Chains A and B, each alone.
Chain A
Amino acid sequence: MNASAPTKRAPMRSRSRWVRIRPRTIVIHVVAWAIGLAWLLPFVGVAMTAVRPLDQTSLGWWRLSPFSVTLDNFVAVWNNPGCPLSLGLRDSFLVAMPATIIPMLVGALAGYGFARFQTRSRDYIFLAVVLFMAVPQMMVAVPVYNLMIRAGLISSLLSLILIHSAWGIPWIILFMRNFFRTLPLEVEEAARVDGASDFKIFYKIVLPMSLPAMAAIIVFQFMWVWNDFFFAQVLIQNPNWYLSTQCVPRLVGQFVRPYDLLSAGAILTMSVPVALYAILQRFYIRGLVGWTIKG
C-alpha cells in the first residue's frame, strides 16, 4: 500500500486538479439530485392530489391550473364513515407501542442469555431462533387465527400485540445478542464478584449501557408493526377496530375511485413512520444494517 497516499481533501487544494474535476462533479451532482427528485415523484403526486380538490387533479396532478389548496380531503378521510382514519391511527398506535416495548424487553433478556451463558444446546437453539426470522407471516396465520378465536381475542388489539411481539422476538434476540457480545465483561464480572444476581446485573448495569441498541430496536420494530397489513387483516375483523393500514384500501372500496381520499389517507398513514425515520434515521439504519435479516 502506498504510504504516501494523499488524503481526501488534497485534490481541492491543487488548482489544476480542481479545474479538471469540476465538470464531472457537476454532472454527477446533477444526475444524483435528478434521480433523487424523480424517485420522489410519485409521492409528490400523492401530496398534490391530497391537498387539491379532485376535479383539479383527475386528469393529471401535474396540471397546475387551476390550483387551490384544501384540507377537505383530510377531514373527509379522518371522519370517513367506512373506516375513519382517526380511529385507524389510534388503533395503529395502540398496537405499535406495546408491540415494540414487549419484544424489546423480552428479546433483550433472551439475547443476554445467549450472549453470556454457555450451554450445550445454546447454539442450536440460537440457529433455530434466527431461522424463524425467515419464515413468512403466512405460515402462522391460520393457526394463530384459530388460537385467537378460542382465546376470545379476535378483533381485540391484544391479539395483534401478542403476535407482533412474538414475531419481533427472533430478530431482537439476534440483534441484542450481537450487541451484548461487544460489551466488555469486566463490569459485569466485577458486579458478580460483589454478589449481584444475574437479573440485577442485567437490569442495573447492562441495560443502561445498551441504550443505542434499544433505540435502534424501538425505531425499527415500531415501524415494522405500524406498516404491517397482513396480521392486522387476519386478526382484526371488527371494522370499529381497523388499523390505519387496513383503512387505506377500504377507501378504494367504495363508490368512485376517490383518489383525493386515497391520497389523504395514504399521507396520514405514512406520516408516522416517515416522521420517525426523519428524526431517528441513524438508529433505523443501524437497526437495518447492524443485522440485515429482518423478515
Chain B
Amino acid sequence: MGRMVAIIVALLVVTNVITGLAVYYLAVPAPGAGSVQVIGPWAGGEWANFKPVLDAFKNATGISYQYTTSRQEDLSLTLPINFQAQQSPADLIFMPSATIKQFAGRGWVTDLTGTLSPSSYQPGALDPLTVTGKVWGGAYTGKVKPGFWYNSSFFTSHNLNVPTTWAGFSQLLWDIKNTSGVSAPILSGDGVGWPLSDVTEGFIETYGGAAMHRALTNRTLSWTDASVKAVFQNYLVPTLQNGFWSAPQTWNDPAVIRSWWNGAYPLYFMGSWITSGFVPNPANLKVFSLPGGGSNQGIVFAADYFFVPKYAAHSDLGKRLAQWLSTKEAQTIQVGVGGHIATATGVSASAYPALDAQVASLMQGKAVLTDLDDTIGNPFQGHFWSELQSLWATPANWQTVLANIQAAAQAQP
C-alpha cells in the first residue's frame, strides 16, 4: 500500500515538475508587435524564391514578417472554424480565389477596395476576387500550365521528336514506353491531387476547347455530356489504359523529380514553376503542349491570390503587405527567379529569364483560362481530386468517375 502511494505521489510530482519546466522554458514568444504574419503554401525551394520579395518589403517599410508554410488544402479545413471563433492564424493568407470569395460571403475578409487599385493590375486580374464592386483580396504572380516538360538530352539521345499531332503523340508515348530504363512514359504527380487535375484540364482545354473548359468551370456544362465524354474516351482514358502513366507519386519529392529527370518517367505535366530550382540542368528543360487540338484551345493561367482576414491581429500591417505585393516592384523581383508571370502592369519583358520565353510562346493563340477546381472551390475540389485519383487507379471506371464529378459539381452551393 505504501509503495503504491509512493508511486502515485512520485508520478504526480514528476509530471508536474515536467509541466512547470516546460512552461517556463518553452513559452511561446509572442510575435513582435510590429511584425506581420504571413501564411503561404510554399516551402523549400519555392519559399527561397518568395523570400526576397518579403525581404524587400521589410527593407522598404521596416515592418518585419513571420512566414509559415501551410498547404491550402489543410487551411481550407481549419480556417473556417478559426474564423467562426473570430480568430485568425495570420494577417495575410494565400488561398484560391473561390475560397476567398466564400470567406468574403461569410464576412470573414477585410475589404481591400481602397488599398488595391485595379489600375495597377492587368485587366481582369482582380475579377475573381471582386464581388458587388468590392475587392476582397489581391492577386499575386501566377503560373501557367503549358504542357509536358522533359529533359531534352533524353529526347536527343533516343532520337525522339516533339509531336505535333495526336497520332504523333501516341506514337511518341509508345516509343518512350519501349525504351529501356523507362518505367512509364508519363510521371503522374500526386500529393493531394491537383497535379492530376492540372493535366486533366490540359486535355479538356486542348481537345475540348477553351469554351468547354469555361463551361465546365461555370458549371453550365455537365461532365457527363457527350462532348466531355468524347474527350475522356478518345484521348485521356486510352493513355491511362495503355499504361502510359506512372502510379501517382508525390509531385515534389526530390527522388521523384530525379527519376523524371533521369529518364525513368521522361514526361511530366507541370506548371511553369518547375523552371525554378527543381532540376540540376535547366538548359535542358523543355516543354511541349498537348498536340493536335482544334483552333479554340485554352491554357490555364493560375494566379496566386491573397487576402487579409477580418480577425487578423494586425490587419493594418496585412493591408500594407497586400499593397506591396500588388506593385510592379514586388512582382518584378518575383518573376526574376523564373516560373512566375506577373499580374501587375508595368513589369517589363526583360525581367523574365530566358526559360520563360518558351512558356510565353506556348501561350500564343490560346485563350487564357482560370484553374477549374480552384475557381469552383471546396467541397467540389476535394471530390474532384479524389475522383481523378481513382480514375488513375482504375481507368475502366471513367464513366462512373465523370458521373461522380458531375454529382459533386451539382452539389456545390
Contact = CB atoms under 8 A, between A and B. Distances in A.
Contacts of B23: 90, 94
A86 B26 CA distance: 7
B121 to A, nearest CB: 30
Most B CB contacts (10 A, CB to CB) among A148, A155, A237, A240 go to A237
A93 B87 contact: no
Contacts of B253: 256-257
B19 interface: yes
Interface in A180-220: 211-212, 214-215, 218
Nearest to B191: A257
Interface string B134-167: 0000000000000000000000000000000000
Contacts of A295: none
A226 to B, nearest CB: 11
Contacts of A280: 7, 11
A155 B87 contact: yes
B114 interface: no
A58 B255 contact: yes
A157 to B, nearest CB: 11
A238 B89 CA distance: 6
A239 interface: yes
Contacts, number: 82
A254 B69 contact: yes
Contacts of A94: 19, 22-23
A250 B18 contact: no
A149 B81 CA distance: 10
Given A254-B69, A256-B253, A93 B18 contact: yes
A211 B4 contact: yes
B4 A215 contact: yes
A87 B28 contact: yes
Interface string B1-40: 1001101100110011011001100101000000000000
Given A97-B15, A218-B8, A90 B26 contact: yes
A103 to B, nearest CB: 15
Most B CB contacts (10 A, CB to CB) among A90, A97, A241 go to A90
A240 B313 CA distance: 14
A240 B26 CA distance: 11
Contact of B26 (A87, A234, A250): A87
A237 B250 contact: no
Contacts of B280: none
B15 A93 contact: yes
A58 B1 CA distance: 51
Interface in B234-272: 250, 252-255
A82 to B, nearest CB: 6
B26 to A, nearest CB: 5
Contact of B86 (A87, A97, A149, A254): A149
Most B CB contacts (10 A, CB to CB) among A86, A97, A257 go to A257
A89 interface: yes
B82 A237 contact: yes
B226 interface: no
A145 interface: yes
A90 B85 contact: no
Given A87-B26, A155-B87, A82 B70 contact: yes
A90 B16 CA distance: 11
A253 interface: yes
Nearest to B8: A215
B43 A238 contact: no
Interface string B77-93: 01001101111010000
Interface string A64-91: 0000000000000000011000110110
Contact of A255 (B22, B69, B86): B69
A82 B41 CA distance: 12
A256 B44 contact: yes
A253 B250 CA distance: 12
Nearest to B24: A90
Nearest to A90: B22
B247 to A, nearest CB: 14
Please give me the 3 A-B residue pairs with the lowest Cβ-Cβ distance, nearest first.
A255-B43, A90-B22, A154-B85
5 contacts: A237-B85, A237-B89, A241-B28, A254-B43, A256-B252
Interface of A: 58, 81-82, 86-87, 89-90, 93-94, 97, 101, 145, 148-149, 154-155, 211-212, 214-215, 218, 234, 237-241, 250, 253-257, 280
